[in-house]
Homo-oligomer: A and B are copies of this chain.
Amino acid sequence: MVKVAIIYYSSTGTNYKMANWAKDAAEKEGAEVKLVKVPELAPMAAIESNPAWKAHYEATQDVPEATMDDLDWADAIIWSIPTRFGNVPGQVKQYIDQAGGLWAQGKLVNKVVSAMSSAQNPHGGQEATVLALYKTMFHWGAIVAAPGYTDPVTFESGGNPYGTSATVDGEGNIQENKLDEAIANQAKRTVTIAKAITASN
């Protein structure tokens, strides 16, 4: 059974929603899934200054925090992260940087990986953020399986061939059509490739 870690960071909920769509699709493909959140670095004062952030923070108190063990455990990783100035959020980079020990032991090699992103503009850094994450994955020796245009739904949901992406308006509404289907396709693809890789070991 393929083990999939779905690792997300979300302040107001979009990437949590996307992570859950990926979880449903990965489980449907027979994967064992852990959905975990990247530890928060922002002070409570910042969180509380934004009602939507505070509400989401409280609503997800019971979601386990991502650990190094999750990276070690996983055959595949699906990341769901917002863009922060065209790159991964500080929280995500800080989490990733802690994997130096696993990396030095070669324990991150051959993870099958894909990523998803969100921003407030259609061209708001979604491409840049996914590509930034993949660069790091190459350092790990991961196998990157972006969705590309392997299914028409990627086109119908506005791209992104690097990783399914959301555009979120001021009220938190996702603008893309069929984003759930595009995410399901991406998650299925990640699981399928991870099955091939694990079967060959």
Contact = CB atoms under 8 A, between A and B. Distances in A.
Interface of A: 41, 84-91, 93-97, 99, 103, 106, 109-110, 119-128, 131-132, 134-136, 138-150, 155, 158-162, 165, 167, 176, 192-193, 195-197, 199-200
A125 B193 CA distance: 24
A125 B148 contact: no
Contacts of A91: 94
Copies of chain A in the complex: 4
Given A143-B143, A148-B139, A150-B109, A123 B127 contact: yes
A107 to B, nearest CB: 12
A39 B89 CA distance: 16
Contacts of A200: 192, 195-196, 199-200
Given A94-B94, A97-B89, A106 B150 contact: yes
Contacts of A103: 85, 149
A96 B144 CA distance: 20
